[in-house]
Structure 1
Amino acid sequence: MKNKRKLFFAIGITVATVAGFSIGQMFFDQQSVDSKPIRAMVPESARKLAFPALQKTNGGSFDSASLQNKWTLLFFGYTNCPDVCPATLNSVALAKQQYEKQGIGQSGKQFPQVVFISVDPQRDSIQALEEYVHYFDKDFIGATGEEKLLTAIAVQVSSNFIVEASENEIEYQVGHSLNLVLVNPATELVAILRAPHTSESIVDAIEHFQQ
């Protein structure tokens, strides 16, 4: 089983890397807008996303239909991540508070639904995911699924990941993208927000792209 898991990820990441490189050619960098430092990769043309169904917290599944009629902010990581994941989710939680405090949503817009997609399904159960994301905000959603499904999603949004080869199936690291992925209510990829992330930079980017 160990070898199968390692082999799958080796193949999956090879495909993801190649596909991610090809997708990357269709983006241009957006460094600043209205004097605000917005670091984002923006697709030259609209790209509708097609997500296979993942298990999500609070029951049910998360798929393409879950993206419809609402803005969505995606982040790929895992609950055993020592620093980047908690720091990023904390910044997103603060951004949500700031967005709501500033009354940006009064124009009819809302802060995007936040979905943390675990790329470590072997260790991250739905219960563990729920406890993890709700620590940052009770409205955050956690989702995960089989490795092939995760790879199919990650490739579409240039958020590749790789699991460290290890004989220990409990203690190992997972390499993953630091990007935040912004999706519009038409289920189209709008922008890939590049690290480093602060609550201010996240709010500025969301406010700009929601216009």
Structure 2
Amino acid sequence: MNRIATSLALLLTAAALSACGNGGEPMRPPLAGAAIGGPFALTDQQGRAVRDSDFAGKYRIVYFGYTMCPDVCPVDVQNIAAGLRAFEAANPERGARVAPIFITVDPERDTPEVLAEFTSAFHPRLVGLTGSQEAIAEVAQEYAIWHEKQQSPGNDAYLVNHSRQAYLMGPQGDPIALLHADESPEAVAEGLDRWVQ
């Protein structure tokens, strides 16, 4: 939990600093050096084993959520997908270097089949990842994502509260910046244009 709290504090500081320019010189990525990200072994929406190393050489948009989320997740993923499509249209070569990744925080319900239906509704290249509760807990911790199941006693239905970040990771898996998926597709496209080389 300390790692998550520390990483979240760094994220807030980085977001504030990223708004500051430095006289026209190239800006240092706001999350450069942050302890965010790490190795994982999960399962994609086709039931295939996927490792972080499978994305080597690609920029990655990494977002954690769940398919039964009643509010923010579908809006954020829609903004990510639409922003990526706009970026791809304006910059086909750079756009092809971006891998959008959705990692569930609800592996109990988000099977590969469920993820396949969800991801296909947003972007043809969106990768949906699931795994065991333990594997999801590990990757969430690596990415400083807090999540907690909320269920009333005697009720089968539940929600999953979780932190809400869209990370842009570099070709070597290094954290670069937060994308403003909570704002608009245009904000996502602007972030991609700024940082994707």
In the other structure, the counterpart of 1:154 is 140
CA distance in 2, matches of 1:129, 1:46: 29
Q: CA deviation at 1:96?
A: 2.0
In the other structure, the counterpart of 1:43 is 31
Q: CA deviation at 1:47?
A: 5.1
- Which of 182, 191, 197 is matched with 1:205 structurally? 191
Report Cα offsets for 1:143-166 as digits up to 9, x if no partner. 111222222212222222111143
Q: TM-score, normalised by structure 2?
A: 0.83
1:113 and 2:105 matched: no
In the other structure, the counterpart of 2:116 is 130
Q: Higher mean Cα deviation, 52-61 or 22-31?
A: 22-31
1:53 and 2:41 matched: yes
Q: State the SS of the aligned residue for 2:74.
A: helix
The alignment yields a C-alpha RMSD, in angstroms, of 2.4
Percent identity, aligned pairs only? 23
5+ long unaligned stretches in structure 2: 23-28
Relative to structure 1, is the Cα distance of residues 49 and 195 closer, same or farther in structure 2, using a 3 angstrom cutoff? closer
1:71 and 2:55 matched: no
Report Cα offsets for 1:24-59 as digits up to 9, x if no partner. 45452213669xxxxxx9324265742221111123
- Which of 154, 159, 162 is matched with 1:176 structurally? 162
Relative to structure 1, is the Cα distance of residues 48 and 155 closer, same or farther in structure 2, using a 3 angstrom cutoff? closer
CA distance in 2, matches of 1:63, 1:98: 28
Relative to structure 1, is the Cα distance of residues 127 and 46 closer, same or farther in structure 2, using a 3 angstrom cutoff? same
1:19 and 2:10 matched: no
Q: CA deviation at 1:80?
A: 0.6
AA aligned to 1:156 is E
AA aligned to 1:196 is D
Number of residue-to-residue matches in the alignment: 187
Q: State the SS of the aligned residue for 2:77.
A: helix
AA aligned to 2:125 is D
Relative to structure 1, is the Cα distance of residues 109 and 99 closer, same or farther in structure 2, using a 3 angstrom cutoff? closer
In the other structure, the counterpart of 2:84 is 96
Report Cα offsets for 1:122-152 as digits up to 9, x if no partner. 1111101110110112221111112222222
Q: TM-score, normalised by structure 1?
A: 0.78
- Which of 60, 67, 75 is matched with 1:87 structurally? 75
Relative to structure 1, is the Cα distance of residues 43 and 132 closer, same or farther in structure 2, using a 3 angstrom cutoff? same
Report Cα offsets for 1:47-81 as digits up to 9, x if no partner. 57422211111232222212311111111111110
In the other structure, the counterpart of 2:130 is 144
1:31 and 2:15 matched: no
